[in-house]
Structure 1
Amino acid sequence: MKPTNSAVIELRDLHLRTDIGTYGPLDTRPDIHFLDLTLGISSHRVLIAKDEMVNVFDYDPLMAEIDRLAEDGHYETQERLMTRIAQACVAYTDILSIDIRLRKAPVRRGNGVLGVRLSLNEAATQNLRHSLQNPI
């Protein structure tokens, strides 16, 4: 068996209470927005010697922040909410990489799902973290 050298935390199909987009009277307005989030972390935060929270990545504060961001007011675009979620993620140095997918439904005539995906590898995650710590 190969040694594990990476680990992920996965969140799927989280229903966000949010208001995204501007729609005309005849446009289909999405009823629901779903978030999928995959966070790359060190395997040392999963392969633990003792069953203690101090040894793992505590994702509850991040989930609370994502809820707060989603409910923070009207967003014109899904991309802006995704940007803010990515910025919240890089505040945690345990997070090494980020994959975010935000989907909305329905999109046309009462059906369909449309989504945007953002994938940041370790270098891109570190660059975002650095840009927030050292704004231009």
Structure 2
Amino acid sequence: MARTAAIELRDLALAVSIGTYGPGDVVPDAHVLDLTLTISPELVAIGADAMSLVFDYDPLIAQIARIARSRSFETQEYLLTLIARACTDYNEIAGVDLCLRKTPVLGGTGSLGVRLTLGGEDLARLRQADRL
């Protein structure tokens, strides 16, 4: 079996405004992010207890929070795209699985989300496109 490693962030409520709502529409109380980052196992199975040996995800989380607060968004999809682009700033990230969901959806219940999964080649293309 191949060795794999991931960093998982679940249920991060973002301070963000998404969508346009009219009278009678259900306005979400929360937009919640789930994020899984595929990284090298060498950044998890380490030989000493030292931050210099692991991937420091705190700057990425801070960057995501800044993106969410930066403006009002019309769509969850565009915010998710910007978060994926933020992930390309970190060469340690070899793949991402992102899910942004809003709640409630109907009658005060449910959640509705958008998922984006990108592998190494997808991230490489995004990194290259962002350099142009």
Task: Place the TM-score, normalised by the shorter chain, in its bin.
Answer: over 0.9
1:34-82 C-alpha deviation (Å, 9 max, x unpaired) = 1000000000101111111110000000000011111111000001110
Match for residue 54 of structure 1 among 45, 52, 55: 52
For structure 1, the 5+ residue unaligned runs are: none
Aligned to 2:61: 63
For structure 2, the 5+ residue unaligned runs are: none
| Separation (CA, whole Å) in 2 of partners of 1:48 and 1:19 | 40
| Separation (CA, whole Å) in 1 of partners of 2:99 and 2:124 | 19
| Separation (CA, whole Å) in 1 of partners of 2:124 and 2:85 | 11
Aligned to 1:38: 36
Aligned to 1:76: 74
Match for residue 87 of structure 2 among 83, 86, 89: 89
Count of residue correspondences: 132
- Identical-pair percentage: 52
Q: What is the Cα deviation at residue 5 of structure 1? A: 2.3
Please provide the CA RMSD for this pair. Answer: 1.0
SS class of match (1:102): strand
| Separation (CA, whole Å) in 1 of partners of 2:3 and 2:121 | 17
* TM-score normalised by L of structure 1: 0.93
Q: Please give the residue correspondences for 1:1-136 in structure 2 after superposition, counting only pairs within 5 Å.
A: 2=1, 5-133=3-131, 135=132
SS class of match (1:119): strand
After TM superposition, where is structure 1 displaced by more than 2 Å over at least 4 residues in a row? none
SS class of match (2:109): coil
Structure 1 counterpart of 2:17, one-letter code: D
Moved more, 103-112 or 9-18: 103-112
SS class of match (1:91): coil
Q: What is the Cα deviation at residue 108 of structure 1? A: 1.4
Structure 1 counterpart of 2:116, one-letter code: L
